[in-house]
Amino acid sequence: MNLKDILAISGEGTLFKFIAQGKNAVIVENLETGRRFSAGASARVSALDEISIYTTGEDLPLGKIMDLIWEKESGGAALSHKQPDSDLRKYFAEVLPEYDRERVYTSDIRKVLHWYNILHKLNMLVMEEEKPAEPEAVAAEAGKDGAGKEESGSEEDLKADAGKKVSAGKKTGQPGVGEKAGAKTRKPSAPKSGKSKPAAD
C-alpha cells in the first residue's frame, strides 16, 4: 500500500495527512473530519510509510502488511481492532505467520488493524504498482541500434572511398592516402624502461 504523507499521532484515534512543515510544528489534516491543525514538537507523530513490523526474518514495512490484509480479505475490511486480544493475535498470525510473537505486542496489532480499517472506510487503500517502461526510452534504445548499423555502413563506404583515392594517387605519381597512413602506423620501438606502469584508477 502507498502510505506516503499519512501520519499517526499518539493519543489520537484516527489518521492524518501531512500538509506542511512549520517552524516548530507540522500542519496536518484529520482524514475523517478534514479539520486542520498544528501538531507541536511535543506531539509524537509517526509516518506510516516509515513503520515496520518485526518478523522472524527481515522486518516488513507496514504498507506490505496492509497488502497482505487486503489479499486475505479480498479487498474487504479487516477484523475490528476492538476484538479480544486472543482473536487479534490469531487473526494477525493468519495474515503474517512469521511475525515475531515476542516483539510485536497486541497493542501494535490493534493499531495496524485500526489504521487499515480507517483507510479502507475512506477508500484510501492504494496499491503500489511497478511503473511500465517509458515508451520514449524504448524508442531511444531502438534508435541506438539503428544508428549503430547506419554508422557501420558508412564506415565501409569511407574505406571504399579511401581505396579509390590510393589508386588515384599511384597513377599520378603523388603519395597516396594509404602510404601516409602506413607511415603513421609503423611499429613503435620498445620502451626503454621495460614494463609500463598500469594506468591510475
- Tell me whether residue 153 is in a domain: no
Cβ count near 107 (within 10 Å): 11
Residue 58: domain span: 6-121
Q: pLDDT band at 118, cuts 50/70/90?
A: very high
Whole-model pTM: value is: 0.64
The identity of residue 131, as a single letter, is K
Give the DSSP letter of residue 55. B
- The pLDDT of residue 127 is 79
- Residue 34, in any domain of the structure: yes
> What CATH number does residue 99 fall under?
1.10.10.1650
H/E element, 150: helix 135-172
At residue 197, the pLDDT reads: 41
The whole-angstrom separation of Cα 69 and Cα 65 is 6
User: Could you tell me which residues are beta bridge partners of residue 55?
Assistant: 99
Asked whether residue 57 is domain-assigned, the answer is yes
Question: Considering its fold, how many domains does the chain have in total?
Answer: 1
- The cell numbers describing 114, all together, are 485500526
